């Protein structure tokens, strides 16, 4: 199990992107959270098995109406989450 932080830029706010990410996470049993940031990007923190997290990242590109320009991923300290939640803008 590991935790990653994901920063997604492009047209990812006001298009249902966070809810799409939550649906993917629920399907794959990934725990964490996703939120809009004031700079127009979306930040997600995801905890799960390494192979499942790779699949999670690849599935994010399939979110309808979102236009992803860039995804930055970095491993961070392990965080245990009870589920995957959509949070208000940070």
CATH code, domain carrying 36: 3.30.70.100
Residue 12: inside a domain, yes or no? yes
Which of the four pLDDT bands, split at 50, 70 and 90, describes residue 89?
confident
What torsion do the CA atoms of 32, 36, 41, 42 make, to the nearest 10 degrees? Answer: 20
Which of the four pLDDT bands, split at 50, 70 and 90, describes residue 28?
very high
DSSP-derived pairing of the beta strands 84-87 and 31-36: parallel
Residue 88: inside a domain, yes or no? no
Work out the mean pLDDT of the chain and round it to a whole number: 96
Q: Which 8-state DSSP code applies to residue 30?
A: -
Residues 33-50 have pLDDT tens digits of: 999 999 999 999 999 999
Residue 89: inside a domain, yes or no? no
Which one of the listed residues 19, 36, 65, 69 is annotated catalytic? 36
Residue 10: inside a domain, yes or no? yes
Which one of the listed residues 7, 18, 23, 27 is annotated catalytic? 18
Residue 15: inside a domain, yes or no? yes
pLDDT > 70? residue 90: no
18 classed as catalytic: yes
19 classed as catalytic: no
Averaged pLDDT, 6-25: 97
Range of the domain at 74: 2-79
């Amino acid at each position: 199990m590991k935790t990653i932080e994901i920063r997604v830029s492009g047209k990812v706010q006001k298009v249902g992107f966070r809810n799409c990410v939550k649906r993917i996470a629920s399907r794959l049993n990934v725990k964490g959270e996703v939120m809009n940031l004031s700079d127009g990007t979306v930040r997600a923190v995801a905890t799960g098995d390494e192979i499942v997290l790779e699949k999670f990242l690849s599935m994010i590109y399939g979110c309808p109406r979102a236009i992803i320009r860039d995804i930055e991923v970095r491993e961070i300290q392990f965080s245990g989450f009870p589920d995957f939640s959509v949070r208000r803008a940070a």
